[in-house]
Amino acid sequence: MPWLLDCVVRELSMSRKRRLILFILLCLAVLGCETIHESGIDTFEGQAVFNRVGFRTEGENKIFHANRFSGGIFIPAGTECTIKQITYKIIKFTANEDEYVLTEWRIGYGPVYTRTSFYKFFVEDMEAIGLDRINLDFRESIVSGIAELGMTKHEVFLSLGYPAYVGNNELTTDKSRASILSRDNWYYLKSKGGKVLLRFENQKLAQTIEQ
């Protein structure tokens, strides 16, 4: 029965593919753990740090590398966060007695990229966030997660977090903080679809355009 033989061959082929996929995932997990240890950021587990930008949740206490423009629970920049777990996929932490998970946080592989990725979102010293240098007229908006015309790029980071795209629809998943700061067109996704373009001129927010 040739058809039965074909089924067996296909099943064996699929079985090999599954084993290969599982092997690759296992290797990535091991490499990720080694990279995290080599970077030294695993020492932050159990320690208190501060979120460098505003965080906004999506779903059940999940935070992505880029915030939605609005909605969810807003965690102002400078909130004390206790790191519970760091893996190559997620950073689990508590803030205001609630637990959150930051996903898609790494911008590259290797100890240097891993450490840079961590400091894209968290810092040990609250003064490094620069809350004492913001325009006092914008303070209320920043702690409420609202962007206003005239804000600097740094102030928009504090109020909205990182955008999903920059420039000509370039994803920020693998972009550093400095790389995002160098661009003048930032796109934030909206909760119910669509995007909002924030356009900067002379390092300050000049336009907010719904798309």
C-alpha 17/C-alpha 198 separation (Å) is: 44
| Predicted local distance difference test score (pLDDT) of residue 29 | 45
Q: Does domain 130-210 have CATH number 3.30.1450?
A: yes
C-alpha 169/C-alpha 205 separation (Å) is: 18
Q: Where are the beta strands (DSSP E) in the chain?
A: 48-51, 55-56, 62-63, 74-75, 80-86, 90-95, 98-103, 122-123, 165-166, 170-171, 185-189, 195-201, 204-210
Q: Report pLDDT digits (tens) over 76-94.
A: 999 999 999 999 999 999 9
Q: How many helices (H) and strands (E) does the chain have?
A: 5, 13
Q: Report pLDDT digits (tens) over 119-166.
A: 999 999 999 999 999 999 999 999 999 999 999 999 999 999 999 999
How many Å from the N-terminal Cα to the C-terminal Cα in the chain? 59
What is the pTM for the complete model shown?
0.82
- Which region holds residue 151: left if phi is over 0, alpha if psi is between -120 and 50, else beta? beta
In sequence order, the 6+-apart residues with CB closer than 8 A to the CB of 178 are none
Check pLDDT > 80 for residue 50.
yes
C-alpha 43/C-alpha 18 separation (Å) is: 35
Q: Report pLDDT digits (tens) over 22-48.
A: 544 444 444 445 678 899 999 999 999
Q: Are 95 and 75 in contact (CB under 8 A)?
A: yes
Tokens representing 154 are: 């740094």
The angle that helices 2-39 and 111-121 make with each other, rounded to 10 degrees, is 70
| Predicted local distance difference test score (pLDDT) of residue 97 | 95
Q: Where are the alpha helices (DSSP H) in 64-196?
A: 111-121, 139-144, 153-160, 177-181
Tokens representing 160 are: 């909205």
